[in-house]
Amino acid sequence: MSTLTLGKALNEGLRKAMENDPKVLVMGEDVGKLGGVFRITDGLQKDFGEERVIDTPLAESGIVGTAIGLALRGYRPVVEIQFDGFVFPAADQIITQLAKMRMRSLGKLSLPVVIRIPCGGGIGAVEHHSESPEAYFTHTAGLRVVACSNPVDAFAMIQQSIASPDPVIFFEPKRRYWEKAEVDTDSADWAPLHSAQVVRPGEHVTVLAYGPAVKTCLEAASAAAEEGRSLEVIDLRSLNPLDIETVTKSVNRTGRCVVVHEAPVFNGYGAELAARITEKCFYRLESPVLRVGGFSAPYPPSRNEDHYLPDLDRILDAADRTFAW
C-alpha cells in the first residue's frame, strides 16, 4: 500500500500500463519533458522515451486523428486533452471517426484509444478551464465514458480503460488531483470498469454523483447524518454504459433520489438518470428525482464559481425537498 494523490495514482496506472504492454503510447501537449500541466505524465518520457511519450503539435483534432491512425497500426494511444474546454476542436474526430469506425468496418477494426480529459471547476481558473462536457460524449454511440473520483479508482480505471478494446473517454476530476488515499499498486483485484459503487450506505435518499461531485456528496451525507437523515451515496464511475442495476436497487429501497453533477442541469446527464429511474422505479418513488448542477449559463468567472458549482447546502436542500411530496 502506498499513499498516493489522485494525480500520482493516474501516473502510476499509466506507468503500469506502459510496462505491461509495449504498444501503449502517451500523447498530447506538454506530456513529455514537462509531464503535463498537471504532471500526470511526469517522468514517463524519461523512462519510456520520446517514441512512446509524444509531445504533439498544439492541435487537438490532430492529436486525436493521429491517435486513431496509430491505433489502426496496432498501438494503444492514451491521449491527454490539456483542459476540458479544449476538447471541442477534437470533437469531430472523436464523434465522427473514433466512435463509428468499428461499426463502419463491420467489426474488423478496433480502436483502443483512451482520451483523458481533466474536467470540472473549482480551481479558480480562467474561462474554458472548468467545464464538464461529459453529456456530449455519453450521447455518442460507440464511445465508453467513465469518470474517476478518488485515487484508488484512478489507478485501476485508467488501466482498465487502456485495456478496453473500445474507445474510452476518461474524465479526471482536476480539483481532486491532490486528494490522497491508500492505494494497493500491486493488486489488480478491481471492480469492473463499468460498475457503480455504493460509497456510503444510507436509508432515506439515494444521491448519485460521479467525478469531482462525489466528494461533495459524501460531505453532504456526513452533514445530513448529524441531522438524523441518512443519505446513500453512489459513485456512478461509468456513464456509458451505466450500471443501472446498482442505481435502481438503491432507489427502490430509499424511494428518493437526488442527482448531482457540475454540468448544467438542462439536458445534462442527470436528465437521463431521472428518466431511467422514473421508468424503472415508478411505483417505489416517493418523490420526483431531483437534480442539482450547473445553471443554464456558461461557466462563470471563477470568483463566482462557488455559487455555480453544486455545494453541500444545495445538495442538502434537494435532499430535504424530496420529503416535500
Partner 1 sequence: MTIDSVRGAPDTPELDRPELIQLLTPEGERVEHPDYPLDLSAEDVRDLYRDLVIVRRIDLEAVALTRQGELGLWASLLGQEAAQIGSGRALNDHDMAFPTYREHGVAYCRNVEPLTLLGLFRGVSHGGWDPKEHGFHLYTVVIGSQTLHATGYAMGIQRDGVLGTPSAAATIAYFGDGATSQGDVNEAFVFASVSNAPIVFFCQNNQWAISEPLERQTRIPLYKRAQGFGFPGLRVDGNDVFACLAVTRKALENARTGQGPTLIEAFTYRMGAHTTTDDPTRYRLKAEEESWKLKDPIERVKAYLVRNDLADAGFFEKVEDVATQMAKELREGCRSMPDPEPLAMFENVYADEHPMMTEEQEQFAAYLASFEEPASGEEAK
> Which residues are designated catalytic?
129
115: which 3 cell numbers?
Answer: 482520451
Q: Which of the stretches 90-98, 229-237, 252-260, 306-314 binds partner 1 when contact is defined by CB under 8 A?
A: 90-98
Q: CB atoms < 10 A from the CB of 108, how many?
A: 8
- Binding pattern to partner 1, positions 172-211, x when CB under 8 A? ----------------------x-----------------
Q: Closest separation between CB of residue 101 and partner 1, Å?
A: 7
d(CA 172, CA 51): 25
The yes or no reply on residue 104 touching partner 1 (CB under 8 A) is yes
- Residue 318, H or E segment: helix 312-321
Is 105 or 187 the residue whose CB approaches partner 1 more closely?
A: 105
Q: How far apart are CA 288 and CA 209, in angstroms?
A: 17
Q: Are strands 2-5 and 180-183 parallel, antiparallel or unpaired?
A: antiparallel
Which one of 242, 258, 263, 285 is in contact with partner 1 (CB under 8 A)? 242
> Binding-site residue total for partner 1 (CB under 8 A)?
47
In the bound complex, what is the minimum distance in angstroms from residue 256's beta carbon to partner 1?
A: 24
Q: Please list the residues that pair with 117 across neighbouring strands.
A: 171
Q: Which of 2, 39, 42, 62 binds partner 1 (CB under 8 A)?
A: 62
**Of 13-21, 28-36, 97-105, 220-228, which segment contacts partner 1 by CB under 8 A?**
97-105
- The answer to whether residue 102 forms part of the interface with partner 1 (CB under 8 A) is yes
Residue from 128, 127, 36 nearest 82 by CA: 36
Q: Kindly compute the dihedral angle of the four CA atoms of residues 58, 124, 148, 212, in this order, to the nearest 10 degrees.
A: -150
Of residues 141, 132, 248, the one with CA closest to residue 196: 248
Going by their DSSP bridges, the two strands 231-235 and 197-200 should be labelled as antiparallel
For cell 524519461, name the residue.
46
CA-based R_g, the chain, Å: 19
Figure out which of the listed residues 2, 39, 42, 61 binds partner 1, where binding follows CB under 8 A. 61
Residue 72 interacting with partner 1 (CB under 8 A) = yes
Q: Measured from the CB atom, is 10 or 94 closer to partner 1?
A: 94
Q: Which residues bind partner 1 (CB under 8 A)?
A: 25, 51-52, 56-57, 59, 61-62, 64-75, 89, 92-93, 96-97, 100-110, 141-142, 144, 164-166, 194, 240-242, 244
